[in-house]
Amino acid sequence: MSDLPRKAVTRTAKLATLPLGFAGRATWGLGKRIGGRSAEIVTRELQQRTADQLFKVLGELKGGAMKFGQALSVFESALPEEIAGPYRAALTKLQEAAPPMPVRTVHAVLAERMGEEWRERFLEFDDKPSAAASIGQVHRAVWHDGREVAVKVQYPGAGEALLSDLAQLGRFARLLGPLIPGMDIKPLITELRDRVAEELDYGLEAEAQRAHAAEFADDPDVVVPEVVYQGEQVIVTEWMEGVPLAEVISDGSAEERDRAGQLLARFLFSGPARTGLLHADPHPGNFRLLPPRDAEEDGPAGEFRLGVLDFGTVDRLPGGLPETIGEALRMSLVGEAEAVYDRLRGEGFVRESVELDPDAVLDYLLPIIEPAAVEEFTFTRGWMRDQAARIADPRSPAYQLGKQLNLPPSYLLIHRVTLSTIGVLCQLNATVRLRDELEDWLPGFAGEPDDGEAMAAGAGPGTGPAPAG
């Protein structure tokens, strides 16, 4: 019924080629080293060959394999530039396209979920998909009332494929680790697996999208399409025209990059405050840059809007982002090491059985929070690579301290979304006034400082301390 390989044995066989391929590359790399090639050069060649094979297999499989690839895609900024270029091309392809379902399969799903007379709901329906993702594909159509719409159809067997892929990927997560320095792959796979049921439920997705569409209906900066129809494996939303963020990353002007980056940061922090929901899938395929309201396509870049798609994965935060994050960030920027340490221990980031030096913890945090310490910050791949290298290098004090910190389960998705968004900002090479967004939307960040904080601030608001090296 579908070209999505559904039998577990078929999918497992495809995924099994990955660790075998890695082992072969390791042997090849050993031979190169014996032949006199430097370890650094060989490692980079291994990374490139591994990336080529990884994304070839993931793109063919869709399902959980492709979902994993999309989650990884936002971290490509951490790779050395000579590897990141070809790697980036493969990732962008994953974000925007995949082999489509046969037309007969699409029609069968629509008939089953919308009724045999499903065509009567549309004035037009394009059989060729306009986009494909990990669990479904999108078709452009015209609804019976004349509205242009996007029809998302879930792949038959998508749930089974997702779980099978992620379980298999989890078995050799350790082998994938070197692809993204400083990132532990296994918890990412575990979290993706835990979210499968939610992402497959188009009812939950429609509910989250409606909440965002209502809240942002009159927003001058952010656009969320309305939900037109929702069924068990079909969701119809208003069509949204715009430049995919991946194209802005590859070919956008500096003004477009900066504007997209500012709005991406604004949406990340304002969404939970305004809707109680955190959009938890911030890869570039889910965003568009749109012209200003009632303006021509060539309107000024400074007025462009951000279009947001795909609400299949959200974190439910009724009170917005936790106030502890804002408080700890604010106190870190003014050097209150003891207070920050107490907040982190109280929330479980430092286990009761572990004793750490508060000043060492602050030194660990300061380079990471540098973008919030200044009025505006330019996110670059070089900065991202420096952070990844600092945390991933076993010789680094940051590496040793990081191993002793803990990530409480309630913060897991927030942490991944924040890191992913920063990864996209680095791909954009965007200059962003992040501090403005934090002051407007992050609970606890703009709170009145106590006397100790005011003394430590010294230079006053808007000037962060010099970041630690």
Which positions are catalytic? 281
Alpha-carbon distance 262 to 443, whole Å?
A: 19
Alpha-carbon distance 189 to 313, whole Å?
A: 14
How long, in residues, is the chain? 469
Alpha-carbon distance 230 to 64, whole Å?
A: 23
Nearest to 97 by CA among 121, 133, 151: 133
Strands 227-230 and 136-143, by their bridges, are unpaired
Alpha-carbon distance 261 to 240, whole Å?
A: 19
User: How many CA within 13 A on the CB side of residue 374?
Assistant: 13
Alpha-carbon distance 169 to 185, whole Å?
A: 10
Name the strand (E) or helix (H) holding 314. strand 314-316
Alpha-carbon distance 399 to 222, whole Å?
A: 38
**Are 222 and 306 in contact, with CB atoms under 8 Å apart?**
yes
How many Cβ atoms are within 10 Å of 200's Cβ, its own excluded? 19
Alpha-carbon distance 175 to 21, whole Å?
A: 11
DSSP for 227-290, written as a single string: EEEE-SSEEEEE----EEHHHHHHH--HHHHHHHHHHHHHHHHHHHHHHSEEE----GGGEEEE
Query: Cα–Cα distances in Å, from 160 out to 144, 167, 249?
Result: 34, 11, 34
Place of tokens 């290098």: 393
Task: DSSP letter for 18, please.
Answer: H
